[in-house]
Amino acid sequence: MKLKHLVAVIGLSCVVSAQAADLKELRVGQDPTYEPFEYKTPDGKLVGFEVDIANALCAEMKMKCVFFDQSWEGIIPSLLAKKYDVIISSMSATDERQKNSHFLQ
């Protein structure tokens, strides 16, 4: 089930980038505490499955991914405040989250 939601978030990033085709950077919000999806190595490098997906999307769109660390509690509020363009961090689509965020399913 989580993979379905991950794919939805990835699809959302494609929609965001299509709307912002003139941008050179895609600002990506993540909570890097969810190994193996996104986490930091002991030397501080951001790694994981979702980091790889984000970087692959950015490469395909010829954009540079800029990652923003965000605590889970603030991940949607920071998106709404335009701190970043998209969230690529495992998230299930709940009724409450769908009030302020778009999920592709």
Extents of the domains making up the chain: 2-97
H/E/C letters for each residue in 5-39?
HHHHHHHHHHHHHHHCCCCCEEEEEECCEECCCEE
Say what the pLDDT of residue 66 is: 96
| The pLDDT value given to residue 98 | 76
The answer as to CATH 3.40.190.10 being correct for domain 2-97 is yes
pLDDT band at 13 (very low <50, low <70, confident <90, very high): low
Lowest mean pLDDT among 9-18, 76-85, 94-103: 9-18
CB 1 within 8 A of CB 92: yes
At residue 91, does pLDDT exceed 60?
yes
Return d(Cα 11, Cα 67) in angstroms, integer.
18
pTM of the model: 0.71
Predicted pLDDT of residue 1: 46
Q: Which helix (H) or strand (E) holds 64?
A: strand 64-69
Q: How far is CA 84 from the centre of its chain?
A: 9
